[in-house]
């Protein structure tokens, strides 16, 4: 923040390109509105000038004692201009709102589309979160700002040209004085604007931390822990410290701005006094009328205000350009190819899923998570994956879903590398339940149907049975149409009920591969035994991977693999693994001993 704060040509060229892109995109979104808005903006820009000239004529007619008819016509012109002013300005305001709203919606829709299509690994980087924060926060206000400031800039330039023209009619030195006292300020303020955009960028992590803490304290998700662990004071003071640090930096910037403002205003007063003095000299020499002095005086102060407005204008436009840069950077980020929601899933597998020497490290990690892993998941069978926390089980599933790519090695479906399948076909072929299943604040039906919008009523009922949902549906007042989740006044569910719902969303897909990450973690013991039987009936002819910490679930699988530190250590059936008396057997024995107590 203390480094070179001046604008560089490269930055300015980039800014102009981003700005031009923003304006052309706005015009393409609603060309008709853009044309009307532009026309109104130009017409409104001429109004103050028209008012100035009409007033000059009326005053001159009065002062020179011209005839009644001339007076009437001068006042008729003045009246028309006065009448046109509110009509044009209110119409412009109305049109600008409508236009900006359309532009904003279009930008937000592009942002949503991109956010849903950037590679999953994008969210592993802190600077990605900074970028998304900028884009999300600014997309709400900057489209309006862009249009508002572009329009004002247009008006100011028209008016400034007119005012300089009026002043030069009285004396050549009047516009020169105006420019001379405004230009130094223009340079300083422009530099400050560049610095303030950089300040905003540099402090984004701090601003995001403040927003995060504020969000923590206002969300139900954390409310119980905050109360039970008495965290409110801690989080409150963390928030205050973050805000204070930000305020300290912001105050430094504000002070700088205050000094610049002071210097600029002082220069303006000097220019103003010099201008008046010059005009009085002209009057004393009999070169101008009193009405001329009034108008020239008015035009001079108007010119000064216009310069001031142009400076603010330039600052706001620079900020809008900075937003457009972030926005374009986000849109330009490589994204997954467009997906076809109608993609046809693969046929049931004949051989199975093979992991061959798969090595993978997370983008922000310092060591490999999967360390040359080899594994064959036989087709049409249930393979249970067990292992200590952090051993890489969920990672294996994320790789199979194509959310990440292996750094080396390959994952094959019946001998074909998953990279050779279009990503939508691969994903349509997988029914997945992630470790932290998501529940949507929507109806029960939507929560399930979003897994497969083409599902019919008979299949929906079958899926509800397989996932153990019937009891919940019976309890809900509006059955399938019951609204769930508390955000919009829907029914709250227990952890296990949300889990069953997410399971039903996975089951509703007609997919040959099924990946379940801890599907029974929230289920009670009775529900677990019952669940497995129903799962077996559903998963017949599918190839399933079941991640579980419960040996009582794992033991029922056709094949069990024990993974530790990114490698498969043991595999076989439950009986084979017990006979081997290795890590699986010791885990099994300690879990059974705990249950017997
Ligand atoms: P658990 O049984 O606790 O669910 P797991 O075997 O499923 O564990 P993974 O979630 O696959 O473990 O994580 C394996 C390792 O990778 C862990 O050490 C974890 O910290 C790390 N890890 C997971 N996700 C990321 C990520 N997005 N970025 C960096 N490291 C990660």
Distances (CA, A) of 506 to 2, 379, 494: 53, 19, 19
Phi, psi of 346 (to 5 degrees): -70, 160
Is 338 among the domain residues? no
| 595: Cα separation from own chain's centroid | 48
- List pLDDT tens digits, range 69-102: 888 888 898 899 899 989 998 999 999 889 988 9
Q: How far is the CA of 363 from the centre of ligand 1 (A)?
A: 12
* Residue located nearest, by CA, to atom 11 of ligand 1: 392
> 48: CA distance to ligand 1 center in Å?
65
Tell me, yes or no, whether 227 and 323 share the same domain: yes
341: left (phi over 0), alpha (psi -120 to 50) or beta: alpha
The verdict on the CB of residue 124 being under 6 Å from ligand 1 is: yes
The protein residue with its alpha carbon nearest to ligand 1, atom 9, reads: 392
Q: Is residue 340, in this structure, part of any structural domain at all?
A: no
Q: Which two tokens stand for residue 193?
A: 């604007």
What is the span of the domain harbouring residue 354?
347-429+515-597
Helix (H, G, I), strand (E, B) or coil at 378: strand
Arithmetic mean of pLDDT, 350-377: 92
Domain count along the chain: 3
368 lines ligand 1 (CB under 6 A): no
**Per-residue pLDDT band at 594 (split at 50, 70, 90):** low
Q: What is the mean pLDDT of residues 387-392?
A: 91
d(CA 546, CA 236): 42
Query: Is 336 among the domain residues?
Result: no
- 315 versus 460: which is more confidently predicted? 460
Cβ atoms < 10 Å from Cβ of 174: 24
> Which SS3 state, helix, strand or coil, does residue 116 take?
helix
Q: How far apart are CA 299 and CA 137, in angstroms?
A: 40
Ligand 1: residue of 394, 432, 435, 564 to mutate (most ligand atoms within 8 A of CB) is 394
For ligand 1, atom 18: residue with the closest CA = 390
134 in the same domain as 13: yes
Q: Both 505 and 523 in a single domain?
A: no
Q: Which of 431, 469, 436 is nearest to 450 (CA)?
A: 431
Question: Phi then psi for 387, rounded to 5 degrees?
Answer: 160, 165
Name the pLDDT band for 1 (thresholds 50, 70, 90). very low
- Give the residue from 464, 479, 510 where a domain finishes: 510
Please give the backbone phi and psi of residue 56, each rounded to the nearest 5 degrees, phi first.
Answer: -60, -40
- What percent of the chain lies above the pLDDT cut of 70? 97
What's the CATH number where 356 sits? 3.40.50.300
Whole-number pLDDT of residue 31: 92
Q: Is 182 in the same domain as 325?
A: yes
Distance of CA 266 to the CA centre of its chain: 42
For residues 208 and 86, membership in a common domain is answered with yes
The answer as to whether 64 is a domain residue is yes
395 lines ligand 1 (CB under 6 A): yes
Tell me: pLDDT of 140 over 80.
Answer: no
Looking at the domain assignment, is residue 248 inside a domain? yes
The minimum-distance atom of ligand 1 relative to the CA of 121 is 27
Regarding whether 155 and 232 lie in a shared domain, the answer is: yes
* Whether residue 169 has pLDDT greater than 90: no
Backbone angles phi, psi at 45, to 5 degrees: -60, -30
Q: Does the beta carbon of 385 sit less than 6 angstroms from any atom of ligand 1?
A: no
Residue 548 Cβ contacting ligand 1 at under 6 Å:
no
**pTM for the whole structure:** 0.78
* Among protein residues, the one whose CA lies closest to atom 10 of ligand 1: 394
For residue 103, what is the domain's CATH number?
A: 1.20.1560.10
Which residue has a Cα nearest atom 28 of ligand 1? 362
Mean pLDDT score of the chain, rounded to an integer?
Answer: 86
The Cα-based distances of 104 to 264, 318, 347, 357, 494 in angstroms read: 35, 18, 43, 48, 38
Q: Which of 365, 366, 388, 403 to mutate to test the pocket of ligand 1 (most atoms within 8 A of CB)?
A: 365
Q: Do residues 216 and 250 share a domain? A: yes
Ligand 1 centre from 409 Cα, in Å?
19
Same-domain status, 552 and 573: yes
**Statement to judge: residues 369 and 476 lie in one domain:** no
> Is 339 domain-assigned?
no
593 in contact with ligand 1, CB cutoff 6 A? no
**Same-domain status, 117 and 137:** yes
Ligand 1 geometric centre to CA of 517 (Å): 13
**Residue 39 and residue 91 share a domain:** yes
SS3 415: coil
- What's the pLDDT score for residue 596? 54
Q: Is 394 in the pocket of ligand 1 (CB under 6 A)?
A: yes
Domain finish residue from 460, 481, 510: 510
Q: Are residues 483 and 581 in the same domain?
A: no
Regarding the beta carbon of 392 and ligand 1, being less than 6 Å apart is answered: yes
Among 510, 525, 546, the domain-final residue is 510
Q: Does the residue 293 lie in any domain?
A: yes
63 assigned to some structural domain? yes
Atom of ligand 1 nearest to the CA of 435: 4
Give the Å distances, CA to CA, from 59 to 52, 71, 80, 381, 404. Answer: 11, 9, 16, 97, 76
């Amino acid at each position: 923040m203390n480094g070179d704060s001046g604008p560089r040509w490269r930055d300015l060229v980039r800014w102009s390109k981003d700005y031009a892109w923003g304006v052309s995109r706005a015009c393409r979104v609603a060309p008709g509105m853009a044309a009307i808005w532009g026309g109104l903006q130009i017409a409104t820009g001429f109004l103050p000038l028209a008012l100035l000239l009409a007033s000059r004529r009326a005053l001159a007619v009065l002062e020179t004692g011209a005839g009644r008819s001339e007076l009437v016509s001068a006042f008729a012109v003045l009246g028309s201009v006065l009448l046109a002013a509110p009509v044009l300005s209110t119409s412009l305001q109305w049109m600008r709102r409508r236009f900006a709203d359309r532009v904003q919606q279009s930008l937000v829709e592009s942002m949503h589309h991109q956010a849903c299509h950037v590679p999953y690994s994008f969210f592993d980087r802190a600077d990605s979160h900074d970028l998304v924060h900028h884009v999300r926060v600014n997309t709400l206000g900057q489209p309006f700002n862009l249009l508002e400031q572009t329009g004002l800039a247009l008006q100011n330039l028209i008016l400034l040209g007119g005012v300089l023209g009026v002043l030069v009619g009285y004396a050549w030195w009047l516009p020169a004085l105006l420019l001379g006292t405004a230009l130094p300020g223009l340079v300083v303020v422009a530099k400050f604007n560049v610095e303030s955009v950089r300040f905003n960028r540099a402090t984004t992590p701090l601003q995001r931390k403040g927003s995060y803490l504020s969000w923590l304290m206002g969300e139900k998700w954390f409310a119980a822990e905050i109360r039970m662990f008495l965290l409110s004071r801690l989080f409150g003071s963390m928030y205050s410290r973050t805000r204070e640090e930000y305020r300290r930096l912001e105050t430094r910037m504000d002070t700088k701005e205050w000094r610049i403002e002071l210097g600029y205003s002082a220069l303006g007063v000097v220019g103003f006094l010099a201008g008046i003095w010059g005009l009085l000299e002209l009057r004393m020499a009999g070169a101008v009328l009193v009405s001329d002095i009034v108008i020239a005086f008015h035009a001079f102060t108007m010119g000064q205000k216009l310069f001031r407005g142009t400076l603010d204008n330039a600052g706001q436009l620079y900020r809008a350009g900075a937003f457009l840069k972030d926005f374009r950077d986000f849109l330009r980020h490589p994204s997954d190819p467009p997906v076809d929601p109608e993609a046809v899933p693969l046929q049931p597998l004949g051989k199975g899923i093979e992991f061959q020497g798969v090595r993978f490290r997370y983008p922000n990690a310092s060591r490999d998570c999967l360390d040359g892993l080899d594994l064959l998941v036989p087709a049409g069978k249930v393979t249970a994956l067990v292992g200590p926390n952090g051993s890489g089980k969920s990672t294996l599933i994320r790789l199979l879903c194509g959310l990440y790519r292996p750094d080396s090695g390959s994952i094959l479906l019946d001998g074909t590398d998953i990279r050779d399948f279009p990503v939508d076909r691969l994903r349509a072929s997988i029914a997945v339940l992630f470790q932290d299943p998501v529940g949507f604040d929507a109806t029960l039906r939507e929560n399930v149907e979003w897994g497969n919008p083409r599902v019919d009523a008979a299949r929906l009922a079958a899926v509800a049975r397989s996932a153990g949902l019937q009891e919940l549906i019976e309890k809900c007042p509006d059955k399938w149409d019951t609204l769930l989740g508390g955000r919009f006044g829907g029914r709250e569910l227990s952890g296990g009920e949300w889990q069953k719902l997410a399971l039903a969303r996975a089951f509703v897909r007609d997919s040959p591969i099924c990946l379940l990450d801890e599907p029974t973690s929230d289920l009670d013991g009775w529900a677990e035994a019952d669940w497995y039987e129903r799962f077996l009936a559903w998963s017949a002819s599918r190839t399933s991977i079941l991640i579980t910490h419960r040996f009582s679930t794992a033991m029922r699988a056709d094949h069990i693999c024990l993974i530790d530190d990114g490698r498969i250590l043991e595999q076989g059936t439950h009986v084979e693994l017990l006979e081997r008396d290795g890590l699986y057997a010791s885990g099994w024995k300690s879990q059974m001993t705990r249950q017997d107590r």
